[in-house]
Amino acid sequence: MTTSDKHDEQTGQDRTARDALYEQLSIDLLNAGVMTPAAQFVAQVRAAAGFRAAPRQIATVVQELTRSAQPINAEAVARIVEGLRGYTSSRQRRNAEQWLSLGSALALRGLDGSPAGQRAFIGQARSIAGQHVSDAVLLSIALALSDLGRALDPDVVGELGKRIGRQAVGLEQDAVTELARAELRVIGRERASAGKPTKRSSSSARRKKVKPPPGPNFSTRKWRPGGRRRRPLVPRRTEDET
Per-residue confidence (pLDDT) for residue 234, from 0 to 100: 60
Q: Is the dihedral of CA 110, 116, 122, 123 positive or negative?
A: negative
Per-residue confidence (pLDDT) for residue 107, from 0 to 100: 94
Q: Which amino acid makes up residue 71?
A: P
Tell me, what DSSP letter sits at residue 238? P
Exposure of 66 in the CB half-sphere (CA atoms within 13 A): 16
In the chain, how long is the greatest CA-to-CA distance?
A: 155
91, 82, 33, 76: which is closest to 54 by C-alpha?
A: 82
Direct distance between the N- and C-terminal alpha carbons of the chain, in angstroms, rounded to an integer: 151
pTM: 0.72
Q: Which amino acid makes up residue 162?
A: K
Tell me, what DSSP letter sits at residue 171? -
Return per-residue pLDDT of the chain as tens, 242 residues: 665 555 455 555 667 888 999 999 999 999 999 999 999 999 999 999 999 999 999 999 999 999 888 899 999 999 999 999 999 999 999 999 999 999 999 999 999 999 999 999 999 999 999 999 999 999 999 999 999 999 999 999 999 999 999 999 999 999 999 999 999 999 999 988 887 665 555 555 555 555 666 655 555 555 555 555 556 556 666 555 55
CB 59 within 8 A of CB 23: no
CA gap 60, 146 in Å, rounded: 13
Per-residue confidence (pLDDT) for residue 232, from 0 to 100: 59
